[in-house]
Chain A
Amino acid sequence: MIFIRLMKMKQTHIVLFLISISLFNCKEPFEVESIDFLNAFVVESTITNELKQQEVSLTKTYALDSQTLEYENNADIWIEDSSGNNYSFSQNAEGIYLSNQEFQAIENRTYQLFITTQDGKQYSSTQVESTPISQITDLYAEFITKSNGEKGIQVFVDSDNENSEAQYFRYDYEETYMVVAPEWTPTDIKLENPRNDELGRLEFDIILSQRLEQERICYKTDLSIGINQTSTTDLEQNNIERYPIRFLNEDNGLSRDRYSILVTQYVQGLEAYTFYKMINDLGSSGNILSPSQPGFVSGNIKSFSNESEKVIGYFDVSTVDSKRIYFDYEDFIDSGMVQPPYLYTCNIVELNYNKPFPFNDRIPMYSSVVNFDYNYVNYNGLNYTLVNPECGDCTSVASNIKPDFWED
C-alpha cells in the first residue's frame, strides 16, 4: 500500500466513530526480529578504454544500524582478457586496488575479474566485453528557470551517437571549485601565554603576524553521488541531447568564484545498465503510482566455491569519454545571474580586550581563536574583528594546492 507509505500523520485521538481518520495514523517504530544481517562481499569496478591504472574496489556490507563502511583488504586480484593477458592488482588504500601496470580495455576483447580473498574464497565475474565507443559531443552550462520557478545553472551533456551503437549511458562527474575566503586578510592572529592577573582575571598576549601560507584561494573537489543513467532506446534518434547532469541553484556558492565540472560518460552494456538501474531504483522511494518491487539484485560476480553465496556488485568494462568545462556566475550575468553568497556563513565578531573587567570580551575571544580557530580581520584600536575559519582561511575547508588541470 503506497498510500500508507506516504502518510506521516501524528497519532490523533478522535472519537471512535471517526474510524476513517484513525486508519492511517498508526505508524510506529518497530524492532525487526530475527533478521539475519547479510555479510556479503561488494565489488565495484569499471575498467575503461583509458590507458591508466585501472581500479577495483572491494567492500563489505554492513549492518543496517551501522555507519562504518567495511573494506575487504589483502585480496589477490587479477583480470584476464580474451587475448590471454593477465593484469594483476595491488592494494592501494583501504578496499581500493590498482592495477600494477597501466592498461586499457580494447574493443572486441572480453575481460574477466578474479578475486581471491585473504581467507581463501575465490570469486570471478562473467566475461565482459567492452562496449561501443561514444563521445561527449558537447558539455555546456545554461542559466535556466525551472517550471517551478527555481533558477540556476544547469549543466547539460550532448552525445551524438548516430554512428555508434552505444545506447546505454552512465554519467558521473567530478566538480572542482575555487573557494576564495571572503574575509581573508594577510594577517594571522595567535594568542599566547594565557594567565590570570593578580585579581584572577584572564590575560593573554595577542600576536599578529603575516600569514605564512596562501590561505585565501583554495580548490575543492567533490565526486558525484549516486547513479545517473540514461538510454536512447526509447528515442527515435540515437542521440543524447541536453541531458541534465548537474544543477546549481542560483544561490549555490559553488559558482561564486570559478567552477569546473569534469563529466565522464560510461557506455554500458544492457546487463550493466540494468544492474545499476535496479540498484538505483531500489534506493529511491519509487513513484507515487507504483512502488518498486524490492529484492536482492545479483550482479555478475559469482563465488567459485559456493554458488549460492550472495555477492553484490558488478564488474563492468566501459568505454569512456570525459569533458571538462569551467564557468562562474559572471558568465550568466546577461541572464540575470548575480553573485551567489559564499558557501559558508560568516560569523564576524567584534571583541574587546582592553576594557576593564567585566566590560571586555577576553574569554570569548580566547575561546574563539584557540578553540574555534577564528581568523583575524582587523583591529580598530578598540576592538578586534574576528571571523570563523571558513571565511578567513580557505584551507580550513579546501586545499590551497591548485589542481594540475586548473585553468583560470
Chain B
Amino acid sequence: MTRQIIILFFFFVTHLVFSQSKSKSDSYTITFNYTPIKEAILKLEKETTFTFYFEEDWFDEKTITGAFTNESLENILDAIFQETPLNYLIYGNKVILSNNSVVFTTLPKGYFGEKNDSIINNPNPSAIDESAESKTAVFHKQYDNTKSSNNSKLITIGKQNSNSTNSYYNVRGKVKNATTNEPLQNLVISVVGKKINAVTDENGDYSISLPAGYNSIETILMGFKSSIKNVIVYGDGSLNFSIAEGAEQLNEVVIQADQNKNVRSAVVGITSLDVTTIKTIPLVLGERDILRVATTLPGITTAGEGSAGFNVRGGKTDQNLILLDDAVLYNPSHFFGFFTALNPFTTGSLDIYKASIPAQYGGRLSSVFDIKTKDGNMDKFSGEGSIGSVTANIAVEAPIVKGKASIMTGFRATYSDWILKKLDEESLKNSEASFLDGIVKYKHNIDPNNSVQATLYYSHDKFSISSDSLFKYSNTIGSLKWDHTFNEKNRGSLTLVNSQYKNEVEYDADANLNFDFGYKINETQVKLNMKYLFSKKHKFDYGISSKLYHVDPGSIQPIGPNSDVEPLSLQKEKGLESAIFISDLFEINDRLLLDVGIRFSFYMAMGPATQLVYQEGVPKDESSITEVNQYGNNEVITTYGGPEARVSFRYFLTPELSIKGGYSSTIQYIHLLSNNTTESPTDTWKLSDLNIKPERAQQIAFGLFRNFDNNNLEVSVEGYYKKMENILDYKIGADLILNENLERDLLEGEGKAYGVEFLINKKAGKFNGWLSYTYSRSFVKLESDIEEEQVNNGEFFPANYDKPHDFTAIMNYKLTHRFSFSANFTYQTGRPITYPIGKFNFANEEQVVYSDRNEYRIPDYYRLDLGVNIEGNHKIKKLAHSFWNISVYNVLGRDNPYSIIFENEDGNIQAYKTSIFAMPIPTITYNFKF
C-alpha cells in the first residue's frame, strides 16, 4: 500500500508531463446495481485495460447504481465518485485514485488571469505566494490531533517542502453541483473556527487564502448539503468541491446514481435485485437463487415450498412476464421450483415491476421480471464456479476482440440422478431427477454508437417420481439485440427473440394405459424501442413490438403395442400479439415527476382452426353450438385489443420523503391452464380465441418512501388495489389436458386483490438485511346465471394463493472480512384449500361432499434458515478467489404442510399432509472465481 501511495505522489508531480492516454477515449458498457464503490472499481478494472491504484480504507459503504452504455471511462468514474471524496487521475493504463486530493490533468477554467469576483477575506493578504513550490512547514501533529474528533477525509494541498516558511497559501478551485455538474454561484466557503470566507463567482470559481497547516473548510449554500473538508495546506494549490443538492433531482436517464432510486424514481412497486446482494442469504441446496430472494420481498409469494411460479400482488402464476435478455422464459424453475432455471453466475440483475409496468412491456397482468444476463469481460479471461451438494456450476467470460467483444457462458447441471442410481433403496432405483441449463452470451461494442448482443439459453428438466411416469420439460431461448445511438438525443434498440417451452409425460405402468404426451409453445417477437431525450423536462420512450405465437396444445401417443390409448393431437393454435407504446417521463418541477405512458395492444387469433360458436346464456356444450367455423391458414378468427394506460408520479414531500402513485391497466392474451394449486410442469398455455377472451386488470397503487442515514436505510409502505376481469377458472371436475372442447370446462371470473406492503431495508453496514411484511388478500368471483358455471354461490372467495400475512426477515452480519453470517425467517398464513366435509350415499356408492371452494386453510407456514460464508483471503491478485457457504435450511425442522390430501382407506377417509423439507437441510457449497 505504501508503494501505491508513493506512486501516487510521483504521478501527482508529473501529471503535466504525461497527459492523455490513448485508451482513455475508449467507451465501456457496464452496469452497477447497488454495487459498493470498491467492487465497482474492481469490476471496472476487469472490464477495462486499466489498473487502479487506491487504498482500501478510502471506501465507505456508499454504493453506485447505474447503467453505462458506451460511456467514456471519465464519465463512468465521475459518476462513481460523484458523491465521494475520491478523485482520480487517468495516466496511461493506470487510474490513480486519491482521497480528497484533487488531481488535475488540466487546470480548471478561470485559473489564470480571469476575472475573479471572489471575495478574499484574508487577514494577511501580503503573505500570499503564487508559487506552488513555496516553502511551507506543516506539522502532521495538527492533523493527528484533530483526526480523532473529525471523521472527514484529509486532503493535502500543495507539496510539502521542508524549506517553506510561508504561513498563508492561496487555494483556488471550482464548486460544482454534484448532480448536474453545473458550477455553483454564491456558495460560501468558510474556514471553521477562523474568520476566513470566500464566495464563488458565476463560474463556481473561488480563491481563498488559507493558513498553512490544518484547516477545516465548510461550504454553505441554500438548498445544498453543507460539506466539510479537512485540508492540510502545504503550499498553493487547488481544491474543488462537488456539492450534493439537498433536494434530490432526477438523474439523467443514461447515468443513474441510484443510491436513492427508491425515493426518487416515479415507479411505484419496483423491486431491483443485484446478484451480489444475495450472496449472503442462506441457500437452499447450495444455490444462490435470485428468484427465491425475490419472494422474500413484499408482494411476491409462491404457493408453497417446491412450487414453481410466483404470485405477485394477488395475481395468478401465469400473470408474470419473465424476461431473460428480453425473451420470455416460460418456466423459470427447475425441479418443482426448488431451483431457479437461471445460472446465478451469469445473471446480472433482476428488476421486478409489480405496479407501474413500463409501457414497453405488456402481455401479462401482474408483473414483469426483467432479468438481464451479465456482459462478459472484454479484457481478460475470468470465471466463476461452484460445487454444491446437488449441482455443479461454472461460468466463464472471455474477450473475443479485446475491449470490444466478449463471450460469456455458463453451464450448470445436477448429479442427483447419479446419486439416485447409486442407492440401495429399491423404490428409488427407478426414480430420476435431473436438470441442466446452459447460457451463452456474445456482446460486441462495434463503435461508440453501435453494439450488438446475442444470447442463447437452454434448460432441461427430467424427473420421475413414481417409476411409471417420466416428466420432461425444456425452455429454449434465443435473443438478438442491437443498440444504436443516433445522436445525443436519440437512441434505440431493436430486439429479435424466440422462446420455446415444451413438456412431455411418458407414462409406462399399466400395459394398456401407456402413453406419451407432449405440449409445445413457441413465440417470436420483434421489438423496436426508442428513447428520445427531448429536454430536461421531457424524455420519451416509444416503440412497437409484435409477437407471433405457435401452440401445439397437446398430443398423445400410445406406448407399446398393448396400449389402449388412442392417438390424439389437438388442433394447433396461432396468434399474433402486437403493440405500440409511448411514454413520457415528464419532470414538472423539482418535486413532481410524472411518468405517463400508453400502450395499445392488439391480438389476432389466426387459423388454420375450427372454432365453435355457442349460444349465449346457456351452458357451452354440444347442444348449444350454433355454428362451426372453419378458418384457413392465417385467416383471422377474432381480434382483441385496447389501450393500456401506465401512469405514475412521484412527489417529494421533503427531500428524503416521497409519495408515489400509479395506475396501470394490462391485458393478457395467453393463459396458463392449471387446476393444481401450484404451477406444475405439465401445465399448458392456451391462446385467446373465439371462446376464450383475454384477461384484463387494472391496478392502482400508492406508496410512501423515506430514506434515512444517508440512503443507507430505506423504509417504504405501499398499498394497492387491483381488479381483474375474465380470469380463467375451471368448473368442478374440469379436464384441462387434451380436451378438444376446453372452453366448456372453463369459467371466466372476476378477481380482486388488495394489500399493504412494508419494507425496511438496511443496505449496508456490518449488519444489513431487510424486514418485509405484507398484508394482502386476493379473491375470485365466479358468478353466472347457469348453476353449474357458478362457484360458491357466485360470491367472492379466496384465491388459491391468498395468504393474508407474509413476513420475512433477512439478516446478514459481517463479523470480519472473512466471516459473515446470515439468517432468514419467513412466516406465511396457510393457503386456502377445499376440504371434504362429509360423506353421502349416491348411486349406491359412498361419495365425498366437499366444502365450498377454498373454504379452509392449511396450517401456517414458517421457516428459519441460517448460513455462514467463509471467504478466502483478500489478496487482490490471486489465482482464484473463493468462498465456502454452509447453510441450513429449515433449522427448526418445521413440518410445513405442502398440501393436504384425503384418501379412502377401507372406507375411512384419512387426511394426510405432505411436506417437503420437514427437517433441517444442511448444505455446503464451494464457490470460486478466477
A interface list, Cβ under 8 A from B: 1-7, 9-10, 12, 14, 16-24, 26-32, 34-40, 42, 44, 59-67, 69, 146-149, 167, 172, 223-227, 231, 233-234, 270-271, 274-283, 287-298, 300, 308, 312-313
Interface size on B, residues (CB 8 A): 99
B839 and A295 contacting across the interface, CB-CB below 8 Å:
no
Q: Evaluate whether A298 and B840 lie within 8 angstroms (CB atoms) in the complex, with A28-B913, A65-B908, A147-B511 already known.
A: no
Interface centre among A1, A27, A64, A287 (most CB of B within 10 A): A1
Task: Provide the bound-state CA to CA distance between A36 and B305, in Å.
Answer: 28
B505 and A148 contacting across the interface, CB-CB below 8 Å:
no
Checking B419, B564, B738 against A147 with a beta-carbon cut-off of 8 angstroms, the contacting residue is B564
Note all chain B residues with C-beta closer than 8 A to A226. Answer: 843-845
Interface centre among A34, A35, A39, A146 (most CB of B within 10 A): A35
B622 and A233 contacting across the interface, CB-CB below 8 Å:
yes
Note all chain A residues with C-beta closer than 8 A to B793. Answer: 308
Contact string, B683-712, partner A, CB cutoff 8 A, digits 1/0? 000000000000000000000000000000
B505 and A289 contacting across the interface, CB-CB below 8 Å:
yes
Note all chain B residues with C-beta closer than 8 A to A10. Answer: 427
B708-735 contacts to A (CB < 8 Å): 730-735
Interface residues of chain A: helix, strand, loop or mixed (majority):
loop
Instruction: Name the residue on A nearest B285 (C-beta).
Output: A19
Checking B414, B427, B737 against A289 with a beta-carbon cut-off of 8 angstroms, the contacting residue is B737
Q: Evaluate whether A63 and B788 lie within 8 angstroms (CB atoms) in the complex, with A12-B428, A20-B433 already known.
A: no
Checking B423, B787, B842, B899 against A21 with a beta-carbon cut-off of 8 angstroms, the contacting residue is B423
A225 and B838 contacting across the interface, CB-CB below 8 Å:
no
Contact string, B328-354, partner A, CB cutoff 8 A, digits 1/0? 000000011010000000000000000
A296 and B423 contacting across the interface, CB-CB below 8 Å:
no
B909 and A270 contacting across the interface, CB-CB below 8 Å:
no
Contact string, B505-530, partner A, CB cutoff 8 A, digits 1/0? 10100111000010000000000000
Note all chain A residues with C-beta closer than 8 A to B152. Answer: none
Task: Provide the bound-state CA to CA distance between A61 and B838, in Å.
Answer: 6
B465 and A63 contacting across the interface, CB-CB below 8 Å:
no
Interface centre among A9, A23, A24, A234 (most CB of B within 10 A): A23
B852 and A290 contacting across the interface, CB-CB below 8 Å:
no
B interface list, Cβ under 8 A from A: 285, 306-307, 335-336, 338, 389-390, 414, 416, 419-420, 423, 425, 427-428, 431, 433, 465-466, 469, 471, 505, 507, 510-512, 517, 562-564, 619, 621-623, 675-678, 680, 682, 730-738, 740-741, 787-788, 791-793, 834-845, 847-853, 856, 895, 897-901, 907-919, 921-923
Task: Provide the bound-state CA to CA distance between A126 and B912, in Å.
Answer: 38
A225 and B844 contacting across the interface, CB-CB below 8 Å:
yes
Note all chain A residues with C-beta closer than 8 A to B510. Answer: 148
Task: Provide the bound-state CA to CA distance between A127 and B731, in Å.
Answer: 24
User: 14 A-B residue contacts at CB 8 Å?
Assistant: A7-B466, A18-B423, A30-B912, A35-B856, A44-B842, A61-B838, A61-B840, A66-B839, A146-B564, A274-B788, A280-B843, A283-B847, A292-B732, A293-B731
The 9 A-B residue pairs whose C-beta atoms are closest, nearest first, are: A233-B622, A281-B733, A61-B838, A30-B913, A20-B416, A295-B732, A38-B837, A289-B737, A147-B512
Q: How far is the CB of A309 from chain B (nearest CB, A)?
A: 11
B425 and A295 contacting across the interface, CB-CB below 8 Å:
no
Q: How far is the CB of A401 from chain B (nearest CB, A)?
A: 23
Note all chain A residues with C-beta closer than 8 A to B425. Answer: 12, 14, 21
Task: Provide the bound-state CA to CA distance between A280 and B733, in Å.
Answer: 9
Checking A2, A9, A18, A30 against B911 with a beta-carbon cut-off of 8 angstroms, the contacting residue is A30
Note all chain A residues with C-beta closer than 8 A to B431. Answer: 21
Q: Evaluate whether A59 and B913 lie within 8 angstroms (CB atoms) in the complex, with A148-B511, A167-B623, A296-B851 already known.
A: no
Note all chain B residues with C-beta closer than 8 A to A225. Answer: 843-845
Q: How far is the CB of B615 from chain A (nearest CB, A)?
A: 12
A1 and B843 contacting across the interface, CB-CB below 8 Å:
no
Q: Evaluate whether A296 and B511 lie within 8 angstroms (CB atoms) in the complex, with A32-B900, A62-B840, A308-B793 already known.
A: no
Instruction: Name the residue on A nearest B734 (C-beta).
Output: A293
Task: Provide the bound-state CA to CA distance between A275 and B843, in Å.
Answer: 12
Checking A12, A22, A227, A298 against B845 with a beta-carbon cut-off of 8 angstroms, the contacting residue is A227
A296 and B907 contacting across the interface, CB-CB below 8 Å:
no
Interface centre among A21, A26, A280, A312 (most CB of B within 10 A): A26
Task: Provide the bound-state CA to CA distance between A193 and B420, in Å.
Answer: 69
Checking A1, A12, A17 against B678 with a beta-carbon cut-off of 8 angstroms, the contacting residue is A1
Task: Provide the bound-state CA to CA distance between A121 and B366, in Å.
Answer: 47
Checking A14, A277, A313 against B733 with a beta-carbon cut-off of 8 angstroms, the contacting residue is A277
Note all chain B residues with C-beta closer than 8 A to A27. Answer: 901, 912-914
Task: Provide the bound-state CA to CA distance between A283 and B845, in Å.
Answer: 9
Instruction: Name the residue on B nearest A17 (C-beta).
Output: B389
A14 and B898 contacting across the interface, CB-CB below 8 Å:
no
A297 and B427 contacting across the interface, CB-CB below 8 Å:
no
Interface centre among B623, B792, B840 (most CB of A within 10 A): B840
Q: How far is the CB of B915 from chain A (nearest CB, A)?
A: 5
B839 and A283 contacting across the interface, CB-CB below 8 Å:
no
Q: How far is the CB of A232 from chain B (nearest CB, A)?
A: 8
B842 and A42 contacting across the interface, CB-CB below 8 Å:
yes
Note all chain A residues with C-beta closer than 8 A to B564. Answer: 146-147
Note all chain A residues with C-beta closer than 8 A to B842. Answer: 42, 44, 279, 312-313
Task: Provide the bound-state CA to CA distance between A12 and B847, in Å.
Answer: 34
Checking B419, B423, B850 against A282 with a beta-carbon cut-off of 8 angstroms, the contacting residue is B850
Q: How far is the CB of A234 from chain B (nearest CB, A)?
A: 7
Q: Evaluate whether A149 and B511 lie within 8 angstroms (CB atoms) in the complex, with A2-B680, A12-B428 already known.
A: yes
A295 and B834 contacting across the interface, CB-CB below 8 Å:
yes
A271 and B843 contacting across the interface, CB-CB below 8 Å:
no
A148 and B512 contacting across the interface, CB-CB below 8 Å:
yes
Task: Provide the bound-state CA to CA distance between A294 and B900, in Å.
Answer: 13
Note all chain B residues with C-beta closer than 8 A to A36. Answer: 837
Task: Provide the bound-state CA to CA distance between A174 and B914, in Å.
Answer: 41
Instruction: Name the residue on B nearest A10 (C-beta).
Output: B427
Checking B414, B433, B732, B915 against A294 with a beta-carbon cut-off of 8 angstroms, the contacting residue is B732
Checking A147, A279, A290 against B735 with a beta-carbon cut-off of 8 angstroms, the contacting residue is A290
Q: How far is the CB of A119 from chain B (nearest CB, A)?
A: 19
B849 and A61 contacting across the interface, CB-CB below 8 Å:
yes
A288 and B507 contacting across the interface, CB-CB below 8 Å:
yes
Q: How far is the CB of A151 from chain B (nearest CB, A)?
A: 13
A278 and B466 contacting across the interface, CB-CB below 8 Å:
no
**4 further contact pairs, Cβ within 8 A, besides A19-B389, A62-B838:** A7-B914, A147-B512, A289-B737, A292-B734
A227 and B843 contacting across the interface, CB-CB below 8 Å:
yes
Q: Evaluate whether A312 and B849 lie within 8 angstroms (CB atoms) in the complex, with A1-B899, A9-B427 already known.
A: yes
Task: Provide the bound-state CA to CA distance between A287 and B217, in Å.
Answer: 78
Task: Provide the bound-state CA to CA distance between A369 and B735, in Å.
Answer: 56
B682 and A289 contacting across the interface, CB-CB below 8 Å:
yes
Task: Provide the bound-state CA to CA distance between A45 and B67, in Å.
Answer: 72
Checking B389, B517, B623 against A233 with a beta-carbon cut-off of 8 angstroms, the contacting residue is B623
A21 and B910 contacting across the interface, CB-CB below 8 Å:
no
Task: Provide the bound-state CA to CA distance between A61 and B732, in Å.
Answer: 20
Q: How far is the CB of B480 from chain A (nearest CB, A)?
A: 36
Note all chain A residues with C-beta closer than 8 A to B897. Answer: 30
B838 and A37 contacting across the interface, CB-CB below 8 Å:
yes
Note all chain A residues with C-beta closer than 8 A to B841. Answer: 42, 59, 69
B732 and A2 contacting across the interface, CB-CB below 8 Å:
no
Q: How far is the CB of B716 from chain A (nearest CB, A)?
A: 34
Note all chain A residues with C-beta closer than 8 A to B792. Answer: 295-296
Checking A17, A19, A294, A300 against B850 with a beta-carbon cut-off of 8 angstroms, the contacting residue is A294
B900 and A18 contacting across the interface, CB-CB below 8 Å:
no
Instruction: Name the residue on B nearest A23 (C-beta).
Output: B916
A26 and B895 contacting across the interface, CB-CB below 8 Å:
yes
Q: Evaluate whether A172 and B623 lie within 8 angstroms (CB atoms) in the complex, with A64-B836, A282-B850 already known.
A: no
Note all chain B residues with C-beta closer than 8 A to A16. Answer: 921-922
Instruction: Name the residue on B nearest A39 (C-beta).
Output: B838
Q: Evaluate whether A271 and B838 lie within 8 angstroms (CB atoms) in the complex, with A1-B336, A19-B285 already known.
A: no
Q: How far is the CB of A22 from chain B (nearest CB, A)?
A: 8
Note all chain B residues with C-beta closer than 8 A to A293. Answer: 675, 730-734, 853
Checking B420, B676, B922 against A1 with a beta-carbon cut-off of 8 angstroms, the contacting residue is B676
